[in-house]
Each structure stands twice: as structure tokens, then as C-alpha cells.
Amino acid sequence: MKNIFLATYLAIKEVVRNKGRFLLVALVIALITLLVLFIAALGEGLANGNRQYVANLDAQLVVFLEKSDYSISSSRLETNTVKSVRRVDGVADAGAIYTSSTEIVSLPESLKVSMLGAEPGRPGMPPIIDGREFRGGEAREAVIDRNVALRTDIQIGDTIQIRSTQGTEDEFFELKIVGLVEGPSYFFQPTIFVPAATWEKIRPQSESELTSDTPYPNIIAVKLTDPLQAEVMAAKLTEEVSNIEVADIETTINNIPGYSAQQGTVQTQGVFTLLIGILVIGGFFQIQILQKVPQIGVLKAIGSSNGVVGLSAVIQIIFVTALGVGIGGGLTYLFSLGFPPTIPLVFNGARSLIAIALLLAIGPFGGMVSIIYAVRIEPLKALRLG
Amino acid sequence: MSTIALEVRDLVKSFLLDGATINAVDHVSFQVKSGEFVALVGPSGSGKTTMLSILAALLTPTSGQVLIDGQDLAQMNEKQRVKLRREKIGFTFQSNNLIPFLSARENVEFMLRLNGRLDHASRIRSDELLARLGLSDRLHNLPAQMSGGQQQRVAIARALIHNPAVVLADEPTASLDTERAFQVVETFANLIHENERAGIIVTHDLRMCQYVDRVLQMQDGKLVRTYEDKKEIIELARGTIH
């Protein structure tokens, strides 16, 4: 206990009497923190933008067309597949999902959105938070995600116009907004939901597709009676329903085009930034210890133990790292307030917490070499023999 | 009656240099009593710093014995040596003496902290000692804000504050001008005598010997001569004896 008090005393005195030097390092750590937290937030934001709709599906399994490699855009199922899936024992409900992109043009600045066809009250249709669900059939009604409403000032009861390329011609369709859902973005775009038949009419399509009025779902979201039986049910569905393959939600997310590559890139950037942090902190404390060799020699010569010297260095490193991470966290928060909503930054994810924990750990890790060096300094250095 | 604070018995320290064994300290024996101030002198390479390092429990001897306050250094492990340095030995060094981020008062009090003896009474004693050394207006100054002489005086206070059995000084005047050097050694000698400590000063400056009670002269690792007569010591200090 005496060693801890002595080490704390020495560490605090040195930091207080050399504020400028330690603050400089804390600021370098703060900048690294800023960078790491932004990368983590960007990773979270990009991941959300890509996966949010799929991740929040009220389902445990997703049915794809056989050999589509779990790619939503490549999958196109027969219309009767939904009924076949619903008939399988253990399936509580199943909802067909239709995906495409379009553009709202009735705004001062047009907005690209993901247009999803879904069935009200079935898996695939997010819960309504305001207004009502659209009617079935070919009703020209839509439910939009809250982010679209916030960004465009569109309100329930308004009519929007969308542009859709039909064959080689641009056509314009009007949709009445009847409800709002939470912000489930898909493929980096905010979403609007329409009935399946409407979707088939107004989605962008090629010349050859125009002859058909039958909507073919891309995927089917499957809600199970017992969610814990997902693996068994995936096998059962594959066996009982023809021409399909089944994936869980995680596999579906990982197979969204570009998702894994994008997350890998962001994580690699984060790891390299942390490595740079370790080198910066390690370098600073190593230089400091080299400058303090005679001083450490004197401390040991007059009777300070290795424990006191080593612990003092550890306390300083932890203090400076915590200060830097604290300043960096504050700066990150301030900067994030000024960023436009188009930049996908999400700070409330587990990623930010992991990043902060890692940042706090890199200090002692980076300073380890210098701590070992300090402990090994001979007290003879205080005399001319050293 | 003075007791023996430090005893060196047939001390040898050997180093291997280019395959040959060199005795940096060669069969040296002496004693220092409490209240006695002794100078260890000799030319460069005579072994006086090696001797001081062994007395300070920083180097282990090849053979022989060193007893500080009756405790044999050879029988101690590293932890016990650290404890001995903390409790029984006071140090002043040639340079880099003080901890640069502690004030004069904090540097002195640090020895008390190390020994778990910092209390109100010892704080007062620390301030009194610094005042005695003419540093009462420098208590809150950092080493960088003090002259070399003032720093050495703070180091002397630190070396004495915890009442060690032995006080060791390694060329404490090397970086001082002549006037300051005389002042520092004289103050050192007075405090050694008043506090009944055993003091050993290593110096190459024979003029400083005028303040000591005995001079041990080393050459090639051997103790070649001892000056005990005050008249002889003064002559040595004046340069009339070589």
C-alpha cells in the first residue's frame, strides 16, 4: 500500500509540474481518439445504413431463390412460394418482400430511396409509429420511414411524386403518404413501403418486364413459432419447399453486396489507428524514460523500490491516456453536432464503447517497454559508474 | 562514546577487462565512527568511486565484508539492500542530485515519505534543517530554480533528514565554484558532527580535506595512506603534502 501512495505521489507531482509536456501527449491521444471514434461511428453508421431494415425484421429466417447465394437482388421467388412456406409446420408467419430503388422528385431536391413492397401486418413490414398501414391491391399509398419525413418535411396526408424508368421512358407516379415507420434504411437509402401490386406497377423495370403484372418477391421473411429452432427450421424449409435456400438474419446481412468488404475496411482502418496510437504513446514514454535515467537512478539509489518506480510510470501512462481519451471523446461529441445528417455517423453503438476500452488499453500497452526499461535502470546510474 | 557505524574488512572488488582481472578495490580495510567525517581521496581510477558504490550497497564486493550499523551487506538480498539504502544511508551525488519535479522541501520530505516517517514534527525538522542550510526562502523552489550550491545543500538536507547511520557524498563540489564548494563541505562537516553521523566524502579536490577528521588516500585500488593528524590534514589540503 505504501508503494502505491509513493508511486501516486511521484506520478501526480511529475504530471502537475510538467503540465505542458503531458498535456501535449494527452492531446495527441485525444486526436487519435477522435479518429478512432469517428471510424467506429462511421462503421456503425455505414453498417446501419446497409443492414438496418434486414436486422430489424420481425423474423428469424430469410428465404431466397435457390443458388442465389443469399443475395437479395439476385433472388426472385415464385409467387406461390410464400404460401408454401406458411404451410410448413413451425412457421408462425411469412411475408414476401420486394426490393427496388426509386427517386422522390416532388421535392425541392430529389431524394433517392429504397422502395420496398411488403404485406401489412406480416414479417417484412415494420411497425407503424404514426398514421396507418396502406391498403392492399393497387392502392397508390405509401408508408415512409421517419428519416425521409424529417429530411423532407413530408407529412402524413401529403402526396409525393416518384420517377421510375419503365422500359426506356421515365414515368411519374403519385403516392399518398398514409403512415410513418421508424428509420429502417436499406442499401444506404431511406425507405418507402408500398403494397406489392403497386410496387410491381411503379418499380423501375425493363421493356420485357412491362408485359407482366405479377409481382415476384425477392425474399420471404419467416417468423418461427420457436425462434430457438432456427437451424432446424432452415433445414426443414429447404427440404419441404422447392427451389429455395434459407439463411438466418446474420448470414443475410453479411451477404448484402459490399457489406463485409466495407466493414472489413472500416475495421482495418480502426485497427491501424490503434496501432499508431500504441506507437505514439510507446515512443513518447520511451523518450521520457531515456531522459529520466539519472533521475530514476537517484530514486533507486536513495531507496525507492522497483515497484514504486514502475508503478509511478504506469499511473502516469494511465492518467495521460484517460485524459487524452476524455478530451478526445468530448471533441468527438462536439464535432458530431456539426456534421450533416447525410454522413452516416452513429455513436451509440457497442463499437464506440469497444473503441474507448481499446483506447484506454493502448496506453499501458504502448508504455510497457518504457516501464520495463525504467524498472531495469541500475541505481549505479546515479553515480559516475553508471 | 562513539560507536562504529561503518566497517570495511579486507574488501576486494575485481573486474574482468580484456580477459585480465583488475582489482578496482584491493584488500581495503577501515572503520568510520559515528560523528566522524572522512575523506576518500585519490587520482582518477584509484578505486574511490567503486569503493563508495560498494559502501552504498549499489555494488556487491568480490570478497571481504562491509558492515553498516552492524549489518553485513554480503548477507543481504536485493530487497534488504534497498531497505538498507532507504533507512541507514544518506546520499549526495555529483550532479542530478534532486528529483527535478519536487520542490526543495518536497525533495527533503521524500526521504521521510520513503521511510514512512513523514509527520508534523518531521516536517518542522525538515524546514529547520533547510533553514539551517540557508534555504528558508527556497522551500518551494524547484531544483531548476536554484543554483548548484543551493541544490547541493538541499541534497545534504535530504541525506541527513532521516538520521541515517552513514552519509555518503560523491564529489559533491565537482560542479561548484571554489567559494560555494568550501561552504557546502563546511556545512556538511558541521552537520555530520552535530548529528553524530558517520560521513564519507569522495573528492579529488584535496582543499576540501581541511574540514574532515581523517583522510583515506587510495591508489590503484589500495588504501595507501591514512591521514589522522589534523596538522597533516591541513598541510594536505594546502598542497604542501602530496
Give B54-107 as a DSSP string: HHTTSS--SEEEEEETTEEGGG--HHHHHHHHHHHEEEE-SSS-S-TTS-HHHH
Chain A residue numbers with beta carbons less than 8 Å from the beta carbon of B158 are: 302
Contacts of A280 (CB under 8 A, 6+ apart): A28, A29, A32, A366
- Tell me the C-alpha to C-alpha distance, in Å, between residue B178 and each of A260, B144, B148, B205: 76, 21, 12, 10
pLDDT at A357: 87
Q: At what angle do helices A368-376 and A306-337 cross, to 10 degrees?
A: 160
CA distance A161 to A105: 6
Q: Residue A39 pLDDT > 90, yes or no?
A: no
What are the two backbone dihedrals, phi and then psi, of residue B50, each rounded to the nearest 5 degrees? Answer: -60, -40
- B52 near A CB under 8 A: yes
Look at chain B and report how many structural domains it folds into: 1
- Reading the block at residue B188, the C-alpha cell is 556538511
Amino acid of residue A79: T
pLDDT at A385: 45
Tracing cell 510507446 back to the chain, one arrives at: A282
CATH of the domain at B40: 3.40.50.300
Check residue A192 and give left, alpha or beta (phi > 0: left; psi -120 to 50: alpha): beta
The nearest alpha carbon in chain A to B113 belongs to A6
Full domain range(s) for residue B14: 4-238
CA distance B205 to A356: 59
pLDDT, mean of residues A354-382 = 83
What are the two backbone dihedrals, phi and then psi, of residue A303, each rounded to the nearest 5 degrees? Answer: 115, 10
pLDDT at A362: 82
Q: Which of A28-32, A322-326, A349-353, B220-224 has the lowest mean pLDDT?
A: A349-353
- Reading the block at residue A339, the C-alpha cell is 456534421
Tracing cell 519535479 back to the chain, one arrives at: B101
- Reading the block at residue A177, the C-alpha cell is 403518404
Amino acid of residue A177: I
Could A380 and B52 be called an inter-chain contact, meaning their C-beta atoms sit closer than 8 Å?
no
Kindly give the confidence (pLDDT) of every residue in chain B, 242 residues in length, as a single tens digit, with 9 standing for 90 and above: 569 999 999 999 999 888 889 999 999 999 999 999 999 999 988 999 899 999 999 899 999 999 999 999 988 998 999 999 999 999 888 876 799 999 999 999 999 999 999 999 999 999 999 998 889 999 999 999 999 889 989 999 999 999 999 999 988 888 778 888 898 899 889 999 998 999 999 998 899 999 999 999 999 999 999 999 999 999 999 886 65
Chain B residue numbers with beta carbons less than 8 Å from the beta carbon of A6 are: 113-114
- Reading the block at residue A350, the C-alpha cell is 457497442
Chain A residue numbers with beta carbons less than 8 Å from the beta carbon of B53 are: 380, 383, 385
Calculate the average pLDDT of chain A: 88
pLDDT at A386: 39
Of A302, A383, A384, the CB nearest to B86: A302
pLDDT, mean of residues A305-333 = 92
Amino acid of residue B124: I
The nearest alpha carbon in chain A to B91 belongs to A302
What percent of chain A is predicted at pLDDT more than 90? 49
Note the ipTM here: 0.88
Amino acid of residue B100: P
Check if the beta carbon of residue A163 is closer than 8 Å to that of residue A171.
yes
pLDDT at A382: 61
CA distance B113 to A67: 75
Interface probe, candidates A1, A300, A302, chain B, greatest B C-beta count within 10 A: A302
Of B101, B113, B171, the CB nearest to A14: B101
Model pLDDT for residues A108-149, shown as the tens digit of each residue: 888 899 999 999 999 999 999 999 999 877 789 999 988 788
Tell me which residues of chain A have a C-beta less than 8 Å from any C-beta of chain B. Answer: 2, 6, 9-10, 13-14, 16-18, 294-295, 297-305, 378-380, 382-385
CA distance B13 to B28: 10
Q: Residue A211 pLDDT > 80, yes or no?
A: no
CA distance A4 to B53: 28
Which comes out higher in pLDDT, residue A381 or B197?
B197
Which comes out higher in pLDDT, residue A326 or A151?
A326
CA Rg value for chain B: 18
Chain A residue numbers with beta carbons less than 8 Å from the beta carbon of B80 are: none
Q: Residue A210 pLDDT > 80, yes or no?
A: no
